[in-house]
Amino acid sequence: MVPESPPPTLTSHPPLQVYPRRPRSPLPDSPLAPGSGMSSTPLVSTQSPPTSRYPSRVRQPPSRFGWLCNTNHSISQYISYLGLSNSYHAFIGTMDSVSIPRSVSVALQDPKWVTAMQAEMDALQANQTWELVPLPSGEKTVGCKWVFTVKYLADGSVDWYKARLVAKGFTQIPGKDFGATFASVAKLTYVRLLVSLATSHSWPFHQLDQLDVKNAFLHGNLLETIYMDPPPGFRAEGEYAGKVCRLRIAHVKQSLGKVFDVKDLGALKYFLGIEVAHSRHGISLSQRRYTLDLLQDTGMLGCRPASTPMDPNLKLSVESGELLSNPSMYQRLVGRLIYLTNTRPDLTFAVSVVSQFMHAPCTSHLDTVHHILRYVKTSPGLGLFYSAGHQSRLSCFTDADYAGSQTDRRFNTGLSTFYGNHLISWKSKKQATISRSSAEAEYRAMAQATCEILWLRSICNELGFMETDSSQLFCDNKSAIILASDSVLHERSKHIEVDIHFIREKVRSGIIIPFFVPSSEQIADVFTKPVGPSLLQSSIVKLA
């Protein structure tokens, strides 16, 4: 296959600038302070720098997000680069100045992306991923799309432009086109635990490029016959014109046991859309660029900001407003917000609410999503901070609201798990069944938290960090704590007997110790309901 047409010459344009602004003074208990769980800068400002080392006008790196400075709510008012090292300043400056194409037509305008696409096509054809055949009568094809990204070196320079062709497997029919699926993806809780351990033990973090597999298609055995559309931007010529791709993916050219070429890209600074910043005080994780891209793609860079992710008085239901004519747009947007919660626990509850209406979104649901984006704009660099110093012992805070769901009156479970003082995992999830009391709902939340602790303990043990001490489980409901320790099974609690025996077994074995915590100190409270600005800010500070 050959590219459809030669790309026109790429014209150069002057880099767009983000205008500097006067830094604002942080509020009391602001997440700007070192040691807090989250940061509102592109990376955590982990020290108060001497005035003589930093000029009053903050130098901003070239950025493609600066063109909205003439709006009333310019995004530049919410981005600060105070406290960045020179190397990291250069890194994010380069990263912000490179634009990733959103479509094939845009990519074909740039020779660098055309070269990357051609390299991917060469690898696919060398691996005999498909053969070009006529489409049999009655058969349908699956689509495919290009995914573009840029690989950076530790100094911020571009290593190479990367294009990958992926099939749209979501269009396949279960039982006809496939029997089972599997995707080997990283669980972000596991990644955060590794970052916490690395910070605690002063391990160096280096980014090794992925194994030298030259294309995105896995070399497995296909039991079904799959036909795929030709890759966008390429066409078959001559006798193959008009034909489709019949996937093989059945020929394993080399054993996986052989040594793969691995490339050291230097200190880890960016992976999976997450920016990693190092200092002697700890490591910061944020999705600053991912957030700015999200705001730009949705046209929300110049929107009026909001002080909370969700209006505390808002009551959503399945019939709130008119059905959207294009639900896929809503679904994609919520999906991107779900990924943003990997470093933004403050968004977790609001995103969990809007994700409950993915099947039939209405106008009010979309308005709520836009409200989340307006809040996100206020702190695009907000993220997690893992302080240096030895950390040990797992603990978890659990909470449940009272019949919070407007549609079925189910309780919402909220939990946050810590390794030392490092926030590792968090969750906001509607309970599967209706509880008849607050104690029952709180106890179900404790059962989920116990499962999370057991899983994290097993990972720590596999990594050689034996969890010999009991893990602490904090709850603000005394009745639920009594149920976890009382050996008598009361008549009114028989319907949750399985959960009761599960937790009691762990309590008796010394793995879990339940503790009462006042509601005012309940860290998981923010994961069960929408809260006002003051409570939200205090909750963010507690996530430390």
pLDDT tens-digit map of 348-395? 999 999 998 998 899 999 999 999 999 999 989 899 999 988 888 899
- The predicted pLDDT at position 254 comes to 44
Asked if residue 478 has pLDDT above 70, the reply is: yes
Q: Percent of the chain beyond pLDDT 90?
A: 20
- The predicted pLDDT at position 16 comes to 25
Mean pLDDT of the chain: 75
Locate the domains of the chain by residue range.
Answer: 2-7+100-195+207-264, 273-391, 393-542
Structural contact between residues 161 and 113, judged by C-beta atoms closer than 8 angstroms: yes
Residue 459 CB neighbour total at 10 angstroms: 17
The strand pairing partners of 415, in sequence order, are: 398, 427
Return the HEC string of 141-152. Answer: CECEEEEEEEEE
Rounded Cα distance between 73 and 61, Å, is 20
pLDDT tens-digit map of 286-306? 999 899 989 988 988 888 999
Q: How far is CA 405 from the centre of its chain?
A: 25
Structural contact between residues 80 and 49, judged by C-beta atoms closer than 8 angstroms: no
- The predicted pLDDT at position 347 comes to 94
Can you read off the two tokens belonging to residue 181? Answer: 């699926």
Banded model confidence at residue 404, pLDDT cuts 50, 70, 90: low
Least confident of 110-114, 242-246, 536-540: 242-246
Q: Is residue 338 exposed (0-12), middle (13-18) or buried (19+ Cβ within 10 Å)?
A: middle
pLDDT tens-digit map of 317-348? 888 788 999 888 999 999 999 999 999 999 99
DSSP of 451-518, one letter per residue?
A: HHHHHHHHHHHHTT----SPEEEEES-HHHHHHHH-SS--GGGGGGHHHHHHHHHHHHTTSEEEEE--
pLDDT tens-digit map of 233-270? 877 777 677 788 887 774 433 443 444 455 566 677 88
- The predicted pLDDT at position 489 comes to 53
More confident residue, 8 or 81: 81
Confidence (pTM): 0.74
More confident residue, 475 or 92: 475
Rounded Cα distance between 186 and 195, Å, is 13
- Tell me what the mean pLDDT of segment 35-47 comes to: 39
For CA atoms 111, 109, 340, 281, the dihedral sign is positive
Can you read off the two tokens belonging to residue 378? Answer: 């206020």
- Tell me what the mean pLDDT of segment 532-544 comes to: 83
CATH 3.30.420.10 fits 393-542, yes or no: yes
- The predicted pLDDT at position 487 comes to 57
Can you read off the two tokens belonging to residue 147? Answer: 């995914």
Among residues 420, 522, 541, 423, the alpha carbon closest in space to that of 477 is found at 522
Structural contact between residues 372 and 347, judged by C-beta atoms closer than 8 angstroms: yes
Asked if residue 18 has pLDDT above 80, the reply is: no
Task: Provide φ and ψ at 302, rounded to 5°.
Answer: -105, 15
Asked if residue 278 has pLDDT above 80, the reply is: yes
Structural contact between residues 206 and 264, judged by C-beta atoms closer than 8 angstroms: yes
Can you read off the two tokens belonging to residue 16? Answer: 């767009």
pLDDT tens-digit map of 483-525? 777 655 555 555 565 666 788 888 888 888 888 988 888 888 8
